[in-house]
Amino acid sequence: MKQPVRVAVTGAAGQIGYSLLFRIASGEMLGKDQPVILQMLEVPFEKAQAALKGVMMELDDCAFPLLAGMVGSDDPNVAFKDADYALLVGARPRGPGMERSDLLQENAKIFTVQGKALNDVASRNVKVLVVGNPANTNAYIAMKSAPDLPAKNFTAMLRLDHNRALSQLASKTGKAVADIETMTVWGNHSPTMYADYRFATIAGASVKDMINDEDWNRTVFLPTVGKRGGAIIEARGLSSAASAANAAIDHMHDWALGTNGKWVTMGIPSDGSYGIPEGVMYGVPVTCANGEYTRVEGLEIDAFSRERMDFTLNELLEERDGVAHLLS
Ligand SMILES: NC(=O)C1=CN([C@@H]2O[C@H](COP(=O)(O)OP(=O)(O)OC[C@H]3O[C@@H](n4cnc5c(N)ncnc54)[C@H](O)[C@@H]3O)[C@@H](O)[C@H]2O)C=CC1
Ligand SMILES: O=C([O-])CC(=O)C(=O)O
């Protein structure tokens, strides 16, 4: 049996937390042979702490063979202590009529505190995924607040957008989701994101050629994927939770256990490639192996793609400027 690893989850009593924790404890994230110790963080209010206790009671009641321990806390220094993985979910979600950027000032402060705590107490190899919105900029803040940890340890969740794009393409082409390869989503987890199927293939054949409808790409596909979060809020009255938890599981699973050469999308700090300034937390195609992600390099960027990639970049630069005062 492997040694247990420590997985910190913030916002553990929230909607996403409720869909996420049980899957981590059952081995869906890190493998059916990997015991885990869950270290759960919630805000220091009675209601949230009581709800967290309830979640921990239910985790107990599942008698998961891989659940080697549990810690519930309102202190990031306890929840992140020696954490090997940290899923930063806890933040206020948006409601109807709001954009994710509306959450910026309110949620940004959380990630300076949590970045510092990770810096102080987490494993030096901790893999951090930021889910709380606006995810890219919150991940950027956490990374900047943790100067002693490698920047590459901090990532933002674009996987839900990636998965949404796969489903739209499967439905358009009448093919199986599992057969679609080399799809990506560039940029910010916001409606400005650029879901790009120019390189995607199904059994070696080009998806772009199969669809052969640039008008559909621009007027149906891109807005559908970009605004899907808002469409879910309209329909459910609450933001996506099970699909978000699923995407978080996919992201961490692939980062830890590898993708066997398959592309997935992760928000990662830019190294300057593709004209994205260094350090910007930007969705790009990656492959993962041996616990590390590697950016897919050298893709051709045509004029339309450049325009879309710069558009989403500019939004990220504005968000970055909007939180600069928290990082000085
Ligand atoms: N990146 C992505 O693709 C997606 C991101 N999200 C975002 O995930 C976040 C969480 O969503 P839900 O679970 O639906 O919200 P929720 O409101 O149901 O749960 C959030 C939980 O976080 C807790 N929390 C707030 N501040 C905290 C802090 N400083 N430390 C620890 N816990 C804290 C709250 O008490 C609450 O229990 C939101 O920001 C939402 O917009 C949601 C869907 C997809
Ligand atoms: O849209 C929201 O606010 C929640 C979210 O990030 C998503 O569903 O993609």
Distances (CA, A) of 298 to 155, 273, 284: 21, 9, 12
Residues within a 6 A CB radius of ligand 2: 93-94, 100, 133, 160, 229-230, 232, 239-240, 244
Task: Report the pLDDT value the prediction gives residue 95, as an integer from 0 to 100.
Answer: 81
Interface predicted TM-score of the whole assembly (ipTM), two decimals: 0.99
Intra-chain end-to-end CA distance of the chain, in Å: 45
Q: How far is the centre of ligand 2, averaged over its atoms, from the C-alpha of 168 (Å)?
A: 17
Which atom of ligand 1 has the smallest separation from the CA of 158?
3
Tell me the C-alpha distance between 169 and 159, whole Å: 15
- In the chain, where are the structural domains located? 5-156, 158-323
168 is in an annotated binding site: no
- Ligand 1 centroid from CA 190, angstroms: 16
Which of the residues 189, 251, 253, 325 is marked catalytic? 189
How confident is the model at residue 115, as a pLDDT?
98
The pLDDT assigned to 96 comes to 86
Predicted pLDDT of residue 99: 83
User: Which ligand 1 atom is the nearest neighbour of the CA of 17?
Assistant: 13
Residue 249 is predicted with a pLDDT of 99
Per-run averaged pLDDT (10 residues), the chain, 328 residues:
96 98 98 98 97 98 98 98 98 86 88 98 98 97 98 98 98 96 98 98 97 98 97 96 98 98 98 98 98 98 98 97 90
Q: Do domains 5-156 and 158-323 have the same CATH topology?
A: no
- Residue of the nearest CA to atom 27 in ligand 1? 90
Q: What is the pLDDT of residues 18-34, one digit of tens each?
A: 999 999 999 999 999 99
- pTM (2 decimals)? 0.98
Quickly name the fold that domain 5-156 has.
Answer: Rossmann fold (3.40.50)
Q: Establish whether 189 is a catalytic residue.
A: yes
pLDDT at residue 102 in the model: 83
Question: Ligand 1: which residue has its CA nearest to atom 29?
Answer: 110
Asked if 259 and 289 count as a contact pair (C-beta separation under 8 A), the reply is: yes
Helices 228-236 + 159-173 axis angle, to 10? 90
| Distance (Å) from CA 4 to ligand 2 centroid | 32
CATH 3.30.450.90 fits 158-323, yes or no: no
Pocket of ligand 1 (CB under 6 A): 10-11, 13-17, 41-43, 48, 89-94, 110, 131-133, 135, 157, 160, 189, 239-241, 244
Ligand 2 atom 7 nearest Cα: 229
Q: Which amino acid is at 308?
A: R
Taking the centre of ligand 1 as the mean of its atom positions, its distance from the CA of residue 235, in whole angstroms, is 19
Tell me which residue has its CA closest to atom 36 in ligand 1.
Answer: 14
The answer to whether 107 is annotated as binding is yes
What HEC string does the chain produce? CCCCEEEEEECCCCHHHHHHHHHHHCCCCCCCCCCEEEEEECCCCHHHHHHHHHHHHHHHHHCCCCEEEEEEECCHHHHCCCCCEEEECCCCCCCCCCCHHHHHHHHHHHHHHHHHHHHHHCCCCCEEEECCCCHHHHHHHHHHCCCCCCHHHEEECCHHHHHHHHHHHHHHHCCCHHHEECCEEEECCCCCCEEECCCCEECCEEHHHHHCCHHHHHHHHHHHHHCHHHHHHHHHCCCCCHHHHHHHHHHHHHHHHCCCCCCEEEEEECCCHHHCCCCCEEEEEEEEECCEEEECCCCCCCHHHHHHHHHHHHHHHHHHHHCHHHHC
